[in-house]
Structure 1
Amino acid sequence: MAKKLGKLNPFKRNYKKNDTPDVPTFKQNLQACRFVDAGKQLIIREDRLFALKQEGIGSKMKLVEEEEDSESRLAKDYEDLVELVMRTLENSLDLQSDEEQEVLRDAVHAVLLEEEQDARWEAFQEKGRPSWRPRRCKQNHEALLERLVHRRMEEAELDSSVEMDSSIHQSITRKAKRLKKDLLKVVTWVRSCYPEHENVCQFYATLYHNTFSAKLREVAEYTLCDEDCTLLLQWVNQEYPNILSVRQIKEVIDHTKLDPLLPEDMITPLEKQFLTSKKMEVSTHLRKILDREETAWKQGALPQLRDQVYCCLQAIDVIQCFHGHVEDTQKMLGDETKARNITCQMNNFLKDYKIFHAKVIKSRQTNTEAVLMVNLSFLIQCRDYITKNAHLFPEEVKTDCLSLLTTMTERSQHYFTSNMHKELKDLYRKVGSYDWLKDSHGVCEELLAKLERHIQKFNNLDKMCCQELLGGMHKEFLAEYVRKMMKQKIKLSNKDQQQMAASELCLNSERIHTCLTAAGSNMDWLKDILPKLAELLKLQDPDSIKLELVNLMRVCPDLSDRHISAWLKLKGNLSTLDRRKIRESVTCSQDQINEKSDSLQFSRRFFSIVRIK
């Protein structure tokens, strides 16, 4: 036994029997809350008692009795010290002064001192240690703080000035407020009382996090109404992360080391319930907007004018409603991809809108044109919104939505362009005729004068919608002009006639382009169509004609063999053999041009709407 105990030599200290230093007693230190000094005194006594045992001095009964009495007193003193230290630690979050903070700091270091003393005894068997070793003060300290946090969270009171109907909302909110307030206390008051390596802020954060998490899990186990389901998700993905993002807290706490507030098997059904509710909410709101528009149309109401421009209220309402719900869902679920689950409601809404749109087009009500103008503005704004926010939509939903919008936009534009063609039908007949050849300027002016009167009805359209509608009309008007020229009502039998016709085409092109761009069209590239066709009439050399046709195909890749054939037949002095050779040569070049053409060139499709037999 003596051999084993010999390992404790580092504990042995030399003491003088008559040494009575002028220092406070243990009880005085304890009363003054000098816990470290008091603890050191106890450790010295503990070491002395162990040293007496080691030296074998306790062989006489009297010394044994004194020794036992000393151990008993020492154990009692340790209990008094630990009790007061733990009581101090229990008040860690109630500090209000620097003096109280200093007492807590001393209590913490006393715990760490006791932990060091426990470590010194670890190498010895239980029989060779004092009966109170190990004291496990640090472990008890951590357990005490855990109980402290739990009690404070349970006793947290709600601000009486805040009104909340749900008891769940009240319970979660008061705990969250307590959590935030106490973590800020830890950062401000408690943190400096612990050595940095103890990372006390992270320890407290974990305790509060686990307690708060336990409350949310308890709530999530029940079948919740939609409001409480939303509340839970809001705390998990918004409110609680906001607390951890407070600057003072964020600087000292690593939130990545905290477990999820709710496990996946609890979050998934909550998200599913929330998404189902959100889809219904979006669908209901969008349906109300559509019902409102349909009712107003049936009642013959005209769209509102604001600064002499039709105000497209449905575009504002639909986009704000939809985007607001998507953003809310994204924030609520903390994941953009999950928010895409509700974007299918836009697809469903547009399908319903298409039915309404078709009814308006077929109707003969006095407000039909005005309603279709506003509808066109709505369709364009929706298209631009989806295009700019494509990341919010699954690819399939985005494609379906844009397809629906394109179909409705084209139908609206067709409604207006077909009306334009009806009004200009009689004047179109003169284009490409001998009357046109004699006075193309007069024919063109007459056409444009009537066209200008027709497009005055679009003065109340907003700029963006006007650009798109008049751009389409510009293209349709010019296509009809070219189609009439290709009907071969005239034969330009010689060079002089061809040059004169080419010159008139160029002048007409300039007049048409000036008229429609002034009205609002942004189809600037259309100004090159007639001049390039005119150049084909002027040229006499077949090889030069081939080159010019290739240039035209670069501008308009949809120029077909039938168009080329129809236009070249205007040249009465071009032989059938030359026309065939030109067409064959150009056809070979067309494939190469299409391979090299970029997306912009392919978007400039003009001749595909020039319908010839």
Structure 2
Amino acid sequence: MNQAIICLLVSRKLPQAVTNYLAPSTVKLKTQPPSPRNEEWPEVEKAEKLARGAALKWASGVFYRPEKLEGLGHYRNRETQRNSSIQSRLKSTVQSYLEGVSTGLEQLRLAVQEVQSVCQDMGAARWALLDCADRFQDLQQMRALMAEHVQLASVVQVLPQLFSVHEVFSHTLQLLHGQQLLEAHAELMMMEHLRDDILSQLHLRGLSSAQATVLSYFSGLQELNESLAKQLWGIVGSSLKLVQEDPVLFVTAIRIIEREEKIDDTLLLDATFLPPGRPKGWRQKFYHVLQETITAAHFNAIRMDAEGPGLAKHLAALQKAIVSELQVVKDLMVQCVPAHYNILSVCTATYHRALGSHLQDILREDLDKQSLFLLLEWVLRMYPSPEVMGHPDLIPEVDVSSLGPLISPELVDQTERKYVEKVKASVLEWMQRTLEVEFKEWFREEEPEMDHQGFFQSALPVIVMQMLSENIQVASLITDSLQQKVYNMALEELEAFLGRSVEPLPPLPNPCRPWVPTAQPFYPWGCVPAPEDHQVPELVAPSTSMVVLSPRGEVPASLQAALDKMQKKACQLLLEELLLDLQPFYMQLPSRKWLSGSQLVNSMCEVIDRYTKDFSHVRKPAFTLLLMESELLVASQYLRALMQKKMVCKSKEERGQFCERLLQDATQLRELFCSLGLDRRQQSLEAVFALRELICLKDPALLSLEVLGFITKYPDVSDEHISTLLELRGDVSKDVRHVVLEMMAQNPQPLPEGYRPIFSTILVPAPELPFCLRKAKCA
């Protein structure tokens, strides 16, 4: 039983070992001790030991009880059957392997037989070739003789042509002289073909040394080529004339050029050999000659006059020539050349490029403003218009927009700036002369011109505005950028003109000044209108020919500043005259005589009234300004006189008299200015009334509250002003003054927007040192 189990395990464990290691012979499983063959296969022995051990382990586990031995026969039969099945399968597998090996061996035997047959055939062929080697040497000599025969036959065929080369050269030259260009070119091509064929054969055979002889023999071809090319380029140079009179000659030249282009293309495709002088590139030469002809005909002419009518005539001639010649190209020349030449586009681009270069050369010269304007107008307006490149006979084939700008935007901008500078210089010179004439007119001893309402007037503002407006309007005919540049220049010059209009006025007069014409102080007001009436040229649409007020009716800030400066200068001159006449009256304020009721303020009112009558010659906006400034001057000088510490109230009665005089003076002056047309709310004399309240206050202890209200209404008042006013009362102690000043320091008041300062312009005398004696004694 154990032997059967071991055999079973061996059959299960070693099917692959049997397949791989057993020789192609009968396989028999034995349990005998290891033989020398088993020693050669240690894996079989190891597998057998493992199988035996596994079988013993299995048997000991199954039959370890006596009752299990009853099924021993059943196990024996089952394992015997399985062992027989395995053996049969092993035998069939080994048999199939043996049959395959037998078939392979038979195929190898047949292959060996075939190889031996091939070797025998190759040996026979080798011996046959060795027998024919001598015969091959005889054939090589025959081949060389055949090649030489072929060359001699070729030479014999071309000998008549070679002998007639010089005769053909003479005939071709005669044809060229007779302008039989197609026939001459046909013979020329034949000679070139013969020469190139000979040179190609020499090149293929490596006979480069013989090429020089061939080239010298055909040297006449170079002269013929040059003569033909000269006639062709002469025809191309006069093509515009020929296509109108006799286009046959021009068409002949184009046909010859196309022949040469085809020959060039063919030779370039065959890169083995390129004959001398190829490629000729006559089509590109055609374009080059045509472009040079156009450029030389119109743009390389004798130097013309760049200024005045000479430039206008030159541009008119260019305009006429460009339009007429492009019409000839479009209607006639296009029909004489192949479509792929794009002759109209080439000519249009040539005119465009040459004209742009020509105009750039002109712009490099020092041109006047008329010439610059003419060039800008011609380049930006005329050139793309229907009168030149947009001509009805040229469109739609000619599209100038596809060619780019005639001159670069940078050059256009530079030219515009040059034009503006020229206009600026002209405007400046004109304004200066006009201002000098106007100034002489106003400073004559005669009364200035007045309008129907009695206001001083001058035609200068209208003339200046009209001149500036005309320059802006002219610039609007070109481009918006040029119009903007001229507009900015006009504003700058107008601003400078306003400044120059007050420069000739004399400085502040002195008591010994010479006589000054009455109209002199009013010169700026008549020379230039007030801001509300001042016209400023506006940048309007190009379609509008009117010049109105500035955009949105507003005066530019810089110009408004110049107007304000001019008004202040004029107002300053008038106020200086007024102050000079009022100064003697202010010298008497305050004084005991003034308190007694003198006619001091009445005299001041008479002087003011007299001056305001002169103000009536100025229009209302300026008149109101003068009136306001005069009233501010009167009020500030009145307050300045009160603060000079000339007087201190010695008693309550004197203080009351002081306050009564202040009330009468302020009321009289206020009524005067009201009667002249100045509203009370616009007057600064209210400060005198407020100051009076400080002096009239009976209880000094309430001064801090009163001063608080005063500084709230007049925030520009200082500690020195308040101290001087308190001293003017004569009854304020040092403690009260200290409380008032401390209250002011604790309640600083900011200046409200639009506040007209009055106290900040008043200087208070410095206080005397406490240890110093009176001035008279110190002196």
TM-score, normalization by structure 1: 0.54
Letter in 2 for 1:169: G
Distance 2:370 2:732 in 1: 78
User: Does structure 1 residue 169 correspond to structure 2 residue 289?
Assistant: no
Distance 1:413 1:511 in 2: 20
Closer/same/farther in 2, CA of residues 202 and 586 from structure 1, 3 Å limit: farther
Q: 1:432, 1:484 within 8 Å by CA — same for their partners in 2?
A: no
1:369 aligns with 518
2:736 aligns with 578
1:5 aligns with none
Q: Which runs of 5+ in 1 are unaligned?
A: 1-41, 57-70, 159-165, 221-228, 393-397, 437-441
1:297 aligns with 443
Closer/same/farther in 2, CA of residues 184 and 301 from structure 1, 3 Å limit: farther
Letter in 1 for 2:708: L
Task: Please point out which of 617, 621, 624 is paired with 1:467.
Answer: 624
What per-residue deviation string (whole Å, max 9, x for no partner) do you get for residues 502-521 of structure 1? 988996686466335x16x9
Q: 2:261, 2:282 within 8 Å by CA — same for their partners in 1?
A: yes
What per-residue deviation string (whole Å, max 9, x for no partner) do you get for residues 287-323 of structure 1? 674366447735x221111221111456667888899
Task: Give 1:331 deviation, angstroms.
Answer: 7.4
Q: 2:649, 2:728 within 8 Å by CA — same for their partners in 1?
A: yes
Q: What are the equivalent positions in structure 2 for 1:544-563 lying under 5 Å apart?
A: 544-554=705-715, 557=716, 559-563=717-721
1:140 aligns with 286
1:36 aligns with none
Q: Which runs of 5+ in 2 are unaligned?
A: 1-185, 201-220, 335-340, 390-399, 476-480, 537-553, 766-779
Q: What are the equivalent positions in structure 2 for 1:131-530 lying under 5 Å apart?
A: 133-138=279-284, 140-153=286-299, 169-181=308-320, 203-214=350-361, 220=365, 229-231=366-368, 234-235=370-371, 237-246=372-381, 248=385, 251-255=401-405, 258=408, 282=428, 286=432, 289-290=435-436, 293-294=439-440, 297=443, 300-307=445-452, 308-312=454-458, 353-355=504-506, 362-364=513-515, 368-375=517-524, 377-378=526-527, 409-419=571-581, 433=595, 435=597, 451-483=608-640, 486=643, 511=671, 514-516=674-676, 518=677, 524=682, 526=684, 529-530=687-688
Closer/same/farther in 2, CA of residues 125 and 302 from structure 1, 3 Å limit: farther
Distance 1:116 1:340 in 2: 68
Q: 2:495, 2:558 within 8 Å by CA — same for their partners in 1?
A: no
Q: What are the equivalent positions in structure 2 for 1:57-72 lying under 5 Å apart?
A: none
Identity over aligned pairs, percent: 12
SS at match of 1:301: coil
Task: Give 1:473 deviation, angstroms.
Answer: 0.9
More helix by share: 1
Closer/same/farther in 2, CA of residues 470 and 230 from structure 1, 3 Å limit: farther
Closer/same/farther in 2, CA of residues 150 and 585 from structure 1, 3 Å limit: farther
Letter in 1 for 2:682: D
Closer/same/farther in 2, CA of residues 513 and 579 from structure 1, 3 Å limit: farther
Task: Give 1:180 deviation, angstroms.
Answer: 4.3
What per-residue deviation string (whole Å, max 9, x for no partner) do you get for residues 246-276 of structure 1? 25468455338649879x9xx9xx989x98x
SS at match of 1:593: coil
Letter in 2 for 1:552: K
What per-residue deviation string (whole Å, max 9, x for no partner) do you get for residues 59-118 of structure 1? xxxxxxxxxxxx9xxx99x989987994796369x99xxxx9xxx9xx99x999999997
Task: Give 1:351 deviation, angstroms.
Answer: 8.9
Task: Give 1:414 deviation, angstroms.
Answer: 0.6
TM-score, normalization by structure 2: 0.45
Task: Please point out which of 759, 767, 770 is paired with 1:607.
Answer: 759
Task: Give 1:373 deviation, angstroms.
Answer: 1.9
User: RCO greater where, 1 or 2, for CA within 8 Å and sep 6 or more?
Assistant: 1
Q: 2:636, 2:762 within 8 Å by CA — same for their partners in 1?
A: yes
Distance 1:575 1:188 in 2: 107
What per-residue deviation string (whole Å, max 9, x for no partner) do you get for residues 533-578 of structure 1? 4665688745534532442344xx3x33332223344556654322
Distance 1:571 1:496 in 2: 10
Greater C-alpha Rg: 2
SS at match of 1:526: coil
Distance 2:671 2:351 in 1: 80
Distance 2:520 2:267 in 1: 91
Closer/same/farther in 2, CA of residues 180 and 363 from structure 1, 3 Å limit: farther
What per-residue deviation string (whole Å, max 9, x for no partner) do you get for residues 564-607 of structure 1? 223344556654322233234435655x837xx77x55xx3322
1:23 aligns with none
Once the two structures are overlaid, the 10-residue window that deviates more, 372-381 or 443-452, is 443-452
Q: What are the equivalent positions in structure 2 for 1:9-158 lying under 5 Å apart?
A: 86=236, 90=240, 125=271, 127-128=273-274, 133-138=279-284, 140-153=286-299
Distance 1:305 1:465 in 2: 16
Q: 1:499, 1:537 within 8 Å by CA — same for their partners in 2?
A: yes
Distance 2:377 2:612 in 1: 55
Q: 2:326, 2:348 within 8 Å by CA — same for their partners in 1?
A: yes
SS at match of 1:476: helix
1:225 aligns with none
Aligned residues: 488
Letter in 2 for 1:515: S
What per-residue deviation string (whole Å, max 9, x for no partner) do you get for residues 410-451 of structure 1? 234311343356689889979984759xxxxx9989965774
Closer/same/farther in 2, CA of residues 337 and 506 from structure 1, 3 Å limit: closer
Q: 1:287, 1:349 within 8 Å by CA — same for their partners in 2?
A: no
Q: 1:153, 1:178 within 8 Å by CA — same for their partners in 2?
A: no
Letter in 2 for 1:374: Y
Q: 1:286, 1:321 within 8 Å by CA — same for their partners in 2?
A: no
SS at match of 1:353: coil
SS at match of 2:750: helix
Q: 2:590, 2:641 within 8 Å by CA — same for their partners in 1?
A: yes
